């Protein structure tokens, strides 16, 4: 295969990958996200009692209990009805819990608020020594995932890799040229034998 054909194939592969990436960007569904943070505060006004509660907080398993409470089906039912996914995790070395909602732009913020409200109502029945307070209210919805610029840059890199791969594969599979198949004999000059003098 000639170098010209290899170059054309590499360009075709790069363009195909780039066009596929642009089409994906145009037709993909974009989720929005909203986040909030709640914190567990001692449910007491006695300073000595507060100090005792804070000292035993890590050993009590209270943080994990509230994470499970807020992630339970009963609490997240309203969000699921709106088609919103809720992820909940505790923030290490704190008494805070972060909640993130993924879904439609108009749904993520009210869905997240419904989870917080339902958890606040349910925690009152636990008779716990800690109360659930809102540290950060559900944020304004923003697009989730990487931005368009980052994805375009990744698409360009993939197109470049595709072109390089095609060139490497075709050069390896291409049969050797006729010049390279021709045996190279050493250039030995044969001198004509001298004739005897008469």
pLDDT of residue 28: 67
Domain boundaries, the chain: 3-27+146-176, 32-143
CA atoms within 13 A on the CB side of 130: 25
Q: Global pTM?
A: 0.61
119 neighbors 69 (Cβ within 8 angstroms): yes
CA atoms within 13 A on the CB side of 151: 15
pLDDT tens-digit map of 8-63: 888 888 888 888 887 777 666 678 999 999 998 887 676 667 777 777 777 777 88
Q: Is 152 exposed, middle or buried (0-12, 13-18, 19+ CB in 10 A)?
A: middle
**Domain 32-143 is classified in which CATH homologous superfamily?**
EIF_2_alpha (3.30.70.1130)
pLDDT of residue 198: 53
Q: Compute the C-alpha angle 123/124/125, nearest 5°.
A: 90
């Amino acid at each position: 295969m000639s170098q010209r054909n290899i170059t054309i194939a590499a360009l075709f592969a790069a363009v195909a990958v780039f066009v596929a990436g642009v089409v994906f960007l145009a037709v993909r569904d974009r989720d929005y996200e909203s986040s909030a943070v709640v914190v567990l505060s001692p449910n007491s006004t006695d300073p000595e009692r507060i100090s005792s509660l804070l000292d035993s907080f890590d050993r009590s398993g209270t943080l994990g209990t509230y994470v499970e409470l807020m992630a339970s089906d009963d609490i997240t039912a309203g969000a699921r009805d709106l088609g919103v996914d809720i992820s909940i995790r505790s923030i290490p070395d704190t008494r805070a819990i972060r909640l993130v909602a993924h879904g439609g732009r108009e749904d993520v913020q009210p869905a997240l608020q419904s989870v917080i409200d339902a958890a606040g109502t349910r925690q009152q029945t636990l008779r716990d020594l800690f109360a659930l307070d809102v540290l950060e209210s559900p944020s304004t919805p923003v697009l989730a995932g990487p931005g368009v610029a980052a994805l375009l840059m990744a698409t360009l890199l993939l197109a470049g890799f595709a072109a390089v791969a095609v060139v490497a594969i075709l050069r390896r599979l291409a049969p050797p040229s006729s010049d390279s198949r021709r045996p190279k004999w050493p250039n030995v000059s044969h001198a004509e034998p001298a004739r005897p003098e008469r």
